[in-house]
Amino acid sequence: MSDKAEIYLDNAATTKLDPSVLRRMVDVYTSNWGNTTGLHFAGKKAASFLESARSDIAKSLNVKPSELLFTSSATESINTVLRGIISTGELRKKHIILSAIEHPAVYKTCKYIERYGIELSIIPVNKQGIVNPSHIEEAIRPNTILVVIMLANNEIGTIQPIWEIGNICHENSVPFLVDAVQCLGKIPLEIEKCKIDFMALSGHKIHGPIGVGLLYIRSDQSISPLLIGGTQESGRRASSVNLPGIIGINEAIRLALNQQKAEQSRYNKFRELVANSVSSIPNAIINGDYVNGLKHILSISFENLDGELLAMHLNQKGIAVSTGSSCSSGNVKVSRILAACGMPDAWAKGTIRVSFGRFNTYDEIQFFSNVLPDSVKKVRKIS
Ligand code: PLP
């Protein structure tokens, strides 16, 4: 085994499971492994654990238990809404509004359902990646069936004016779907205040289990199921329920909300360290909205540098970050998000994303901040 440092700064991609979450899950695997639909003692015990987790989560999110659907991921939650909403109601040309910087779970699903005659309005963002709510209001038509806007972006951390957008949707009687995957335990979700009808969340971004998602469905909204079969989740999602995962996400949400304030102030200190390091590097910028954006995500662009080479160089030093571009067959494809923010290719190609989590320490961020300037210098020479 290598004794090289392992500094994981890719927490927006996924996070390490919290040991307390794992303990809860192991308990379920060992002593409460019944199928929640069973009519016997094992099934009854499992069903009661399931409903008690649903009630706990509902309390944490300030919603009703009946408004929560357990899924396998945020991607499934988003697909459930998008593919469910187009299959209900009258068969007329339907129209969906989304922003240009939605996650592929939204963006690609919307592009996919275009083949069923759905019309899309893709709302542009400004340089910081922020949607102007009045552009959404102008885009609403009599046949608009849904507005989808993420609460905060996973690549650049920009937070959207969800309160204004929610009110516009409400006044126009258009359902509003919010992807809040990067926000749980980071900023308040304010589901009621922002008049949100559907919200997608995920366990593995908050030191909870991978393969567990949540879908909030406001009680006056209904949705046709994506998975058809058994009667689980009141007929809204067939398939045997992942009880260990659900008990795990419940614990992960509890921890994330309890620690939210303290973690945010830690991440603020981390950001300052990295920002100081970036300011010492020529032709380097921090993308998005540094002041008001999510505290755990920093997208950094370096002009005339290959971001993948920089990520590989940092990996050799034991530091894991992600890039803002992808390379296939030698062609570098820049991020759709950075392009939507109007970033020139010469900068977008040289982008890395650094994202913090509960298990990062100040010393780790200091180490990263110290090695970054020299790494950029070396990689620029070979880019
Ligand atoms: N939405 C955002 C903003 C994300 O960051 C992600 C994960 O990267 C997803 C949706 C998809 O989440 P999941 O992995 O639970 O499907």
pLDDT tens track for 60-77: 999 999 999 999 999 999
pLDDT digits (tens, 9 = 90+) for 220-265: 999 999 999 999 999 999 999 999 999 999 999 999 999 999 999 9
Q: Residue 351 phi/psi, 5° resolution?
A: -110, 135
Nearest to 182 by CA among 319, 58, 74: 74
Residue 91: the pLDDT is 56
pLDDT of residue 330: 59
At 73-130, the pLDDT tens digits run 999 999 999 999 988 766 568 999 999 999 999 999 999 999 988 999 999 999 999 9
Contact 160, 177 (CB under 8 A): no
Nearest residue to 159 (alpha-carbon basis) of 189, 139, 137: 189
Q: Please indicate whether residue 36, judged by its CB atom, sits closer than 6 Å to ligand 1.
A: no
DSSP 3-state of 180: coil
Kindly give, in sequence order, each residue whose CB lies less than 8 Å from that of residue 222, ignoring residues fewer than 6 positions away: 88
Mean pLDDT of the chain: 95
Task: Name the CA dihedral angle for 210, 260, 369, 18, rounded to a multiple of 10 degrees.
Answer: -40
Order of strands across the sheet with 284-286?
284-286, 297-302, 351-355, 322-323
* Residues 162-216: tens digit of each pLDDT: 999 999 999 999 999 999 999 999 999 999 999 999 999 999 999 999 999 999 9
* Ligand 1 centroid from CA 201, angstroms: 8
pLDDT reading at 328 higher than 80: no
Residue 45: count other Cβ atoms within 10 Å of its Cβ: 17
Q: How many residues does the chain have?
A: 383
What is the reported pTM?
A: 0.96
* Ligand 1 contact via 182 beta carbon (within 6 Å): yes
Q: What is the pLDDT of residue 1?
A: 42
- Rounded to 10 deg, the angle between the 362-382 and 243-279 helix axes is 60
- Give the tokens for residue 305: 């540098």
Distance CA(107)–CA(177), nearest Å, equals 13
Show the CA angle centred on residue 223, arms to residues 107 and 28, nearest 5°.
Answer: 90
Q: DSSP assignment of 247-272, as one string?
A: HHHHHHHHHHHHHHHHHHHHHHHHHH
Separation of alpha carbons 102 and 148, rounded Å:
8
- Do the strands 322-323 and 213-217 form a parallel or antiparallel pair, or are they unpaired? unpaired
Q: For residue 103, how far is its CA from the centre of ligand 1 (angstroms)?
A: 7
Conformation bin of residue 230: beta by default, left when phi > 0, alpha when psi is -120 to 50: beta
> Is 15's C-beta closer than 6 angstroms to any atom of ligand 1?
no
Q: Which of 175, 179, 132 is nearest to 151 (CA)?
A: 179
Ligand 1 geometric centre to CA of 200 (Å)? 9
Residue nearest atom 16 of ligand 1, based on CA coordinates: 75
Name the residue at shortest CA distance from atom 12 of ligand 1: 74
The token pair at 85 is: 């909403």
How far CA 350 is from CA of 94, 118, 131, 345, in Å, comes to 39, 36, 24, 8
Distance in angstroms (rounded) separating the CA atoms of residues 60 and 49: 17
For residues 380 and 305, is the Cβ–Cβ distance under 8 A? yes
The more confident residue out of 374 and 90 is 374
β-pairing verdict for 325-328 and 331-334 = antiparallel
State the catalytic residues.
327
Provide the 10 A C-beta neighbour count for residue 107. 19
138 pLDDT exceeds 50?
yes
